[in-house]
Amino acid sequence: MITFNNVSKKYMTKTALKDINIELNKGKIIGLVGENGSGKSTTLKLIAGLIQPSKGSVIVNSKKADRRIAKDVTYLSELDEYYSFYNVGQTIEFYASQFPDFNLVKAEEIREFMKLDTNTKLKHLSKGNRGRLKLILTLSRDVPVILLDEPFSGLDPMVRDSIVQGLISFVDLEKQIILITTHEIKEVEMILDEVIAIKDGQFIGHHNVEDLRYTQNMSIVEWMKTLYNE
């Protein structure tokens, strides 16, 4: 589903990713974890075709990842750029007009789950509720690859757990793969199948979460500490 062939990415003199080789298959929820600036967001942007590698190739769903890969990828960015004069319902309808694969029925189901009022103007939404809207717009597209960059930022900790668990019911893992970057590692650990640790632009570890838990008796945080201390 997603393949990195000897991929490096440089921004001027800074190396964001270095010599990455990996293959990721559908049917998985994969967490990308690491410090700020480690290369997590760059990895997602390469998959989304928003940037191109300085070296190597990124293949998504048997196609080169460029701007046209948006037909196969839905991407929740850390950026928050919407028409503030639209309300929630109008924003959902606008997205439906832009993406032929946008599922309005699913969008309504997720909106109800997220408890967002369709008539509320975006300029009046809190940061947490804008985050909920971003999840609605991202998860309502019927595409094979779902990329979530810090999707739970700003969400109330009291409801974060229920939202994280609820996401599973809106994803078809027989057809889709999800990559999540997050600092809320403990909250998402319960839904992750695999975890990739990134440090200084390199993938320093890739593990099955269940094996970590039951074979090595380690949480993701404990596993990361061993990697970072080596």
Residues 192-214 pLDDT 10s: 999 999 999 999 999 999 999 88
Can you tell me whether residue 21 is helix, strand or coil? strand
Q: What is the b/e burial string over 197-214, where b = at least 16 CB atoms within 10 angstroms of the residue's CB?
A: bbbebbbebebebeebee
Residues 137-155 pLDDT 10s: 999 999 999 999 998 877 7
Q: Is the pLDDT of residue 123 over 80?
A: yes
152: phi then psi, degrees, rounded to nearest 5: -105, 10
For 173, the token pair is: 């893992």
For 45, the token pair is: 């942007």
8 Å CB contact between 174 and 183 = no
Residue 220, CA atoms < 13 Å, CB-side half-sphere: 27
Question: What is the C-alpha separation between 161 and 144, in angstroms, rounded?
Answer: 25
8 Å CB contact between 197 and 38 = no
Residues 77-120 pLDDT 10s: 887 778 888 999 999 999 999 999 999 999 999 999 999 999 99
All domains of the chain, ordered by start, with CATH?
2-229 (3.40.50.300)
- Beta-carbon neighbour count of residue 185 at 10 Å? 15
**Whole-number mean pLDDT of the chain?**
91
Question: What is the C-alpha separation between 226 and 29, in angstroms, rounded?
Answer: 23
Residues 50-60 pLDDT 10s: 999 999 999 99
For 170, the token pair is: 């809106």
Q: Is the pLDDT of residue 230 over 70?
A: no
| Cross-strand pairs, 102 | 141
In this predicted model, which residue has the larger pLDDT, 157 or 135?
Answer: 135
